[in-house]
Amino acid sequence: MTHTQHHPMKKSLPFATAFLLAAAGAVAAETPPAVTFDGYVVVTGSVQDTAGAATDSALDVTHAKFGIKAQLAPTVTAYASMFYRSAFDKADLLDAYVAYEPDAGLKITVGNFLSYLGYEAFDPINLTQISNANRDLLGFPVPAYHTGIKADYTFGNHRVGAAVVDSLYGTAESTIFAGDGDFSEKGLEAYYTYKGIKDTQVWVGAGQDNDGGGAVYDVWVSHALSSTDTVAAEYLVDESDGYNWLLVYVKAIDSKLSLTSRLSGETSNTTDTKYVKYTLAPSYAFTPKLTVRAEISFLDYSGSGATASSSTFYAVQSLYRF
């Protein structure tokens, strides 16, 4: 089953903007660090050259985010953010949750929050490359945001978490910003992670949506070879359609320059299509707030459902964090 996410949601931009402005005004009198602000702006220029098709190029502000975090009490924090993504031509409320930490190990979160699943970060500012390793054939098998309640507990080198949400995936209307808003049939997520092996993290998780489709299983492992070198691998199975995987090596050449080398692939059983993707992405941090990144990726398609034999993606990206 393809998890389609292509249309804007009903929440209006004025409503979301008013929410954030009101929150900012309400907490402006607080003494720092009770209230903090964060965000980023990302500008991307890209060229997609697909065999047998016209070359597609773009230059745009592709992502922007503004967030407000308030310390409501010693054990209670609230966070809200406004997010824009050019792929959906939409700005809207994204994060909107309250977190309660009654002790050092337990955290309970209620509201609209990001899925547990997926090795690669949701926010481009936290990636080490420009494009995602996979998702083209399976239609966003890694969920984005949804609304509900989750609990995370850390004990020693172990951490577990579980969430009950309105739906695992967004609808054609809500896209990546939220779930389906219907709690009559709920989505579920859970994970376990272990950090007891030196410089290594093992993560295992799963999700089940409320639409009667197959579950999603995700496992990844990361290992720091040294203070400058990290490797990671991920394997994800979408029971309703297929699977994908990635292998990545990130090398910090010096304090400013790094290089990401990635090999990934995705297979759709429904369409009998697969690809292998080869990626190189250098990044240069001019300042702690400004990074410029480039990428070249080559995709090699196969299977009876493939509409092209290959595709090459070139991109340059400027990321500013505030």
pLDDT tens, residue by residue, 28-84: 444 446 999 999 999 999 999 999 999 999 999 999 999 999 999 999 999 999 999
Of the pLDDT bands very low, low, confident and very high (cuts 50, 70, 90), residue 173 is confident
Torsional sign, CA 52, 54, 59, 65: negative
Q: Indicate the domain borders of the chain.
A: 13-321
CATH topology assigned to domain 13-321:
Porin (2.40.160)
User: Does the pLDDT of residue 101 top 70, yes or no?
Assistant: yes
User: Does the pLDDT of residue 17 top 60, yes or no?
Assistant: no
Cβ proximity of 243 and 264 under 8 Å: no
User: Is the pTM for the entire model greater than 0.95?
Assistant: no
pLDDT tens, residue by residue, 269-312: 999 999 999 999 999 999 999 999 999 999 999 999 999 999 99
Return the closest-CA partner of residue 209 out of 144, 265, 124.
Answer: 144
User: Does the pLDDT of residue 109 top 90, yes or no?
Assistant: yes
Q: What is the rounded CA–CA span in Å between residue 142 and residue 174?
A: 15
* Mean pLDDT, all residues of the chain: 90
